Structure 1
Amino acid sequence: MNTKEKPKSKISASRKLSLKILLLTKACEDLEQEKQERDDEKVQYLGEKLPPLQMSGLSHDDLMNLCKELHGKIDTVDEERYDCEHKVTKHNKDIHELKLKIQDLGGKFKKPALRKVRVSADEMMRALLGSKHKGSMDLRSNLKSVKKEDVKQDKDLTGEVGDWRKNVEALSGMEGRKKMFDA
């Protein structure tokens, strides 16, 4: 026989049902009363903030001023509404972030210790790009090689240049180009 049996309720099923019905009817009445109170508060607030408009007997200029005044009030209300919406979205975002932090703290997840792994550039590119990776990442082979003869020639050319005006006059026209190709 099971040692932990559920103790029998001292209240009969019909009594439980009648109590549930009473609780539900009371809750419905309370909800209706709260809704009525909110509607009354809304009407009262609007009555304070928006007095009834009296447009009869106003001239065209007075109506224009009234419209401008109403537009100003609408703008201020829209600004307040926007500010409130922005605050609410910011608070909701903060609440969501805090809930995530609580979940992270409450969880039993432990971050594993990361190991240092030596990976060459080629292996890393193959891992990232997969089959798209072509060629090797030997960076030294991609460097431009400079021959020592070219460096000496550049120094000779820069050594010859003294006054640039003489150089331009000597090389101007077809004769100058011919000299460049001959040299």
Structure 2
Amino acid sequence: MTEKRMSSSRKHSIKGMMLQVAKELLEAEAIEKGQIRATYMEENCPPLVLPRSVEELKDLCCELHAKLDVVDEERYDLASKVNLVVREVADLNFKMVDLKGKFKRPPLKKVRMSADAMLQALLGSKHKVTMDLRSNLKQVKKEVKEEDKELRDVGDWRKNIEDKAGMGGRKKMFETDA
């Protein structure tokens, strides 16, 4: 099947229409949010009546302080809930990485250390231990086999070959008998 390509003017006009519709939707949403805010303010915030005497002013301050305390308690409760959720998310992320088994291994540096220095680092500077690893090795005596001695003591190889030459080394037998 061959696809029909849209002309650039058609694409441009469709894009313009989409942007116009999106603009209208955003404007309607902004108006709706403004109305919701206005109704909330009317319900929760009564119009301010300024007191005319000192007693009325003190009563107004006490009411405002009580409302501030209630709001502050709600804010603290919400903040603690948010912190709890953040910790749970961090723990779940850690568990998820742990289950995947993909850990980023830090690059390790090569440390050249003798056995004595390693023991001193492990045991501390109080204990001085010297360790000569070669002194603990067993002494092994090398046994020389008799076959090896015979192979070494063969002598002149040319003479040996002449003796065994011919008929698989039987020539010498016939020469001595004849």
TM-score, structure 1 normalization: 0.49
TM-score, structure 2 normalization: 0.50
Q: Which has the larger radius of gyration?
A: 2
